[in-house]
């Protein structure tokens, strides 16, 4: 019997594949039999290591340098994936721009960058990928944040973008349901990865806020990247045939809504 959680004969594009959650998703897709293309912005060394390790296990994988905020670049990511692997079944976006600090101290440059990466770029990416996804009744999974549901101290602009992505995903889900395309969001909170460690050392203020957030998690521990990835993998798999337009928290109970 075919496993519903396998990805044999599936082609996936993961945008932001060198971060903690992104890497876990890339490896999970590859382990399930998918042909995986993933993008990176600047971390070429990590991208090369991932490709080398997966290639050694005879898992088809390709790294693509790209910038999600550039329309032409998002189109190139999709076109390169389709050209290499023959189509596109799964799009997963994990890209984000992560800083923590009081809103009134935020700079205009940082605000614009957050909006470009966490909203505009996601819109460009979806528009570039949907024609290929419609052809194969594919899946879209956006990695968002619990902050998009309830807000977050120190990440006001990012939380606003994440909330916008939740509404955007629901709108795409409605518009493309008849095409057989399912669109969902995974919303993690603090996660046990290098990014969260960076937050905790960014400033004394950020350290206090992040420590308070950790203490508020009912499970009393940080979710691991692999645990967040497993939710995304379910939504992208054949095991999911009816869930669309949903925002699924994967935060150890930090947000229950």
Using the predicted structure, report yes or no on whether residue 98 has a pLDDT greater than 90.
no
What pLDDT shows up at residue 154?
86
Mean pLDDT within 104-127: 96
Mean pLDDT within 176-203: 86
**Residue 58: left (phi > 0), alpha (psi -120 to 50), or beta?**
left
Beta strands in 144-246 (DSSP E): 182-188
CATH architecture of 11-250: 3-Layer(aba) Sandwich (3.40)
Using the predicted structure, report yes or no on whether residue 199 has a pLDDT greater than 90.
no
Q: At what angle do helices 44-56 and 20-31 cross, to 10 degrees?
A: 20
Alpha carbons 155 and 147: distance in angstroms, whole number: 8
- C-beta of residue 166 within 8 angstroms of C-beta of residue 144: yes
What pLDDT shows up at residue 13?
99
What pLDDT shows up at residue 173?
99
pLDDT digits (tens, 9 = 90+) for 18-65: 999 999 999 999 999 999 999 999 899 999 999 999 999 999 999 999
Question: Among the listed ranges 25-39, 189-203, 243-257, which one has the minimum average pLDDT value?
Answer: 189-203
The set of long-range contacts for 50-55, using a CB threshold of 8 Å and a minimum separation of 24, is 50/17, 50/18, 50/23, 50/26, 54/26, 54/27, 54/30
pLDDT digits (tens, 9 = 90+) for 221-248: 888 999 999 999 999 999 999 999 999 9
As a whole number, the mean pLDDT across the chain is 93
Q: How much of the chain exceeds pLDDT 70, in percent?
A: 98
What is the bridge-based pairing of β-strands 11-15 and 90-93?
parallel
Mean pLDDT within 195-210: 75
Alpha carbons 20 and 15: distance in angstroms, whole number: 12
Question: Among the listed ranges 60-64, 83-87, 98-102, which one has the minimum average pLDDT value?
Answer: 98-102
Q: How much of the chain exceeds pLDDT 90, in percent?
A: 78
Using the predicted structure, report yes or no on whether residue 206 has a pLDDT greater than 50.
yes
CA 18 to chain centre: 11
What pLDDT shows up at residue 3?
67
- C-beta of residue 194 within 8 angstroms of C-beta of residue 103: no
- C-beta of residue 171 within 8 angstroms of C-beta of residue 182: no
The SS3 assignment for 237 reads coil
What pLDDT shows up at residue 1?
42
Which of 74, 90, 86 lies closest to 25 in space, CA to CA?
A: 90
Alpha carbons 121 and 15: distance in angstroms, whole number: 11
pTM summary value: 0.93
Alpha carbons 102 and 197: distance in angstroms, whole number: 18
């Amino acid at each position: 019997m075919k496993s519903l959680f396998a990805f044999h004969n599936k082609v996936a594009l993961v945008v932001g594949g060198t971060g903690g959650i992104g890497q876990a998703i890339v490896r999970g897709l590859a382990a399930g039999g998918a042909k995986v293309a993933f993008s990176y912005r600047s971390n070429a060394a990590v991208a090369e290591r991932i490709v080398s390790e997966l290639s050694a296990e005879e898992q088809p994988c390709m790294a693509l340098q790209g910038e999600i905020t550039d329309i032409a670049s998002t189109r190139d990511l999709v076109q390169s994936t389709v050209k290499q692997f023959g189509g596109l079944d799964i799009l997963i976006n994990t890209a984000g721009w992560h800083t923590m600090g009081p809103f009134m101290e935020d700079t205009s440059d940082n605000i614009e960058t957050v909006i470009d990466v966490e909203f505009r770029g996601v819109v460009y990416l979806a528009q570039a990928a949907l024609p290929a996804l419609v052809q194969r009744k594919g899946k879209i999974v956006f990695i968002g944040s619990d902050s998009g549901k309830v807000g977050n101290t120190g990440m006001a602009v990012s939380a606003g973008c994440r909330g916008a992505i939740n509404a955007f995903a629901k709108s795409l889900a409605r518009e493309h349901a008849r095409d057989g395309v399912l669109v969902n969001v995974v919303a993690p909170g603090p996660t046990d990865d290098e990014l969260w460690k960076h937050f905790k050392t960014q400033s004394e203020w950020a350290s206090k806020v992040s420590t308070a957030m950790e203490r508020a998690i009912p499970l009393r521990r940080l979710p691991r990247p692999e645990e967040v990835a497993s939710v995304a993998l379910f939504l992208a798999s054949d095991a999911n045939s009816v869930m669309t337009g949903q925002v699924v928290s994967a935060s150890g109970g930090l947000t229950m809504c």
